[in-house]
Chain A
């Protein structure tokens, strides 16, 4: 009982709140400075998505996840145990509930959120979004129709010595080497080139230092394809291959590709037209807009996506992110797709906090006026 009281007292303590806020300030400062040299993604991973940071490689320091968890428990403990519930405290209670809701919303976003992109040429359609940072080893059989069944394994599992099973095709891929960022080279000797199967004729990879911006990395790997009859063939997959590599065995053709991780969308999106307008007499773009056709399980509709006018559907939000002018007058439009089931929570939390502040202000105002009277 003594220890239980001690623990509860610790989490009820106002000192814990102050310490957490100070730690958050320190983490924000260091994370911001770290970002200047190492980029946003690395700063997020090290300071804001971690539980423990090791300064200088050995000195442990609480990460943002740990600090926010303690802060959440601190707020919850105070609300459950210490708060007095009455009309006069309603404003304070609403403020604290709003803060807790904000922290909870952040957790939901972090756990279940997903960021990806989709680039389409005019006339092109797709039902898959691509990850910015993650890659996959995908395999499929070509089909005559508009759909193909893909089996994919995250490239995070492509460690040397590991076996990637593709039982659907009766094949296994053992990983001989894998590099998160690689340079590809071709051998001029045809005999050497024939030892490794690759659609671009690449024969070996050289590991490069990973870029601080993960989206710039070009991974590559060399695998051994094992067939059911005991055969083996070396396969090289490079993220920069313009075409996937086809492996043929006993008349069966299986296509392999090392590509950005795909996230299935609940709809098929086709780009009908892309338009941009410029500021008068300049080449500075003023606005971009994409007219897309959205196919939601057989029901189609046209949607216009513009800058500051995203398209939302069931937790998905499509933003007009970028474009490219291509040859022959073609345009390519790129959409940033965010899946965030908790996107409405910060609005509710902010509204609740604002209302709490207003209520508390009014209660205090009337109380003081009554006391003065």
Chain B
């Protein structure tokens, strides 16, 4: 007759005492909490192989890799031969992880960060990121400077609308919207345009965008605030004061 736990438990356990001990101690060593003196003695047996193995280990050497890197930058476009050849788009426009953005242009823009807005360092064309922490939501305001032709006002508005999930108006409706954009004067004497998507968004929790466009010479500063319609409505005045403080 085959020896099993049921027909002769004492003999079965005597023959399998080592396995039995490991079975008993395993949950306790996993949880790390021996609860009795007996368990502590058996835990030592179970941990001994592990202790011996780890005692023989030393900190591994840090492996290094060596390789050659080929460096050929993209040539500048013919009509802008003096520009930095590594211009990239807005970081938010790039759908997949891209190479790091190019060095910042020689923009000298200053501004007054509104109260309760938190400023973070920028990188490349992004001069700064301002964060608004409301109770249950957050909005982000980016300051990005671009040189030369920035793609066209209407094209940029349509792209921002698509990014916010808004169907852009077409034809006369879009022209009327662009012609009716509010203008403002900055502290630096520049004229800016205010783009507000609030009329196109119905739900207070839906995403909306406020953009201030300030042109100075050959550079254009885009101040773009993205967040829910409700939050943007409450921060609209601070946003406008930020844009007007540009100098």
Nearest CB in chain A to that of B94: its residue: A324
Give chain B's interface secondary structure class: loop
Interface residues of B in 97-112 (CB under 8 A from A): 97-104
9 cross-chain pairs, A with B, having the tightest CB-CB distances, nearest first: A121-B74, A124-B74, A123-B74, A125-B72, A242-B124, A127-B70, A186-B121, A328-B77, A264-B67
Q: Mark B71-93, 1 if CB is under 8 A from A, else 0.
A: 11111010110010111110001
Nearest-neighbour CB distance to chain B for A147, whole angstroms, equals 5
The answer to whether A150 and B71 touch across the interface, beta carbons within 8 angstroms, is no
The answer to whether B68 and A127 touch across the interface, beta carbons within 8 angstroms, is yes
Identify which of B30, B87, B95 contacts A328 (C-beta below 8 A). Answer: B87
The answer to whether B77 and A147 touch across the interface, beta carbons within 8 angstroms, is no
The answer to whether A202 and B121 touch across the interface, beta carbons within 8 angstroms, is yes
Nearest-neighbour CB distance to chain A for B149, whole angstroms, equals 7
Interface locus among A82-90, A107-115, A329-337: A329-337
Give chain A's interface secondary structure class: strand
Identify which of A60, A124, A151, A326 contacts B30 (C-beta below 8 A). Answer: A60
Q: Report the Cα distance A185→B89, complex, angstroms.
A: 23
A241 within 8 A of B: yes
Number of interface residues of A (CB under 8 A): 62
Identify which of A119, A268, A327 contacts B148 (C-beta below 8 A). Answer: A327
B183 within 8 A of A: no
The answer to whether B96 and A147 touch across the interface, beta carbons within 8 angstroms, is no
Given contacts A328-B77, A328-B79, contact A126 B70 (CB under 8 A): yes
The answer to whether A147 and B71 touch across the interface, beta carbons within 8 angstroms, is yes
- Among A154, A200, A330, chain B packs the most CB atoms within 10 A around the CB of A330
Q: Report the Cα distance A259→B123, complex, angstroms.
A: 15
Given contacts A186-B121, A200-B123, A330-B77, contact A150 B98 (CB under 8 A): no
Known: A146-B72, A264-B67, A321-B96. 20 other contacts (CB 8 A): A126-B72, A130-B97, A147-B68, A147-B69, A148-B71, A149-B68, A149-B69, A150-B66, A152-B67, A154-B63, A154-B65, A157-B62, A157-B63, A165-B62, A168-B66, A201-B121, A242-B101, A262-B67, A328-B79, A328-B83
The answer to whether A125 and B70 touch across the interface, beta carbons within 8 angstroms, is yes
B120 within 8 A of A: yes
Show 24 A/B contacts (Cβ-Cβ < 8 Å), sorted by A: A117-B96, A119-B96, A121-B74, A121-B85, A124-B72, A124-B73, A126-B69, A147-B68, A149-B67, A149-B69, A151-B66, A153-B62, A186-B121, A215-B97, A240-B100, A240-B123, A242-B100, A242-B102, A262-B69, A268-B70, A322-B96, A326-B88, A332-B94, A332-B98
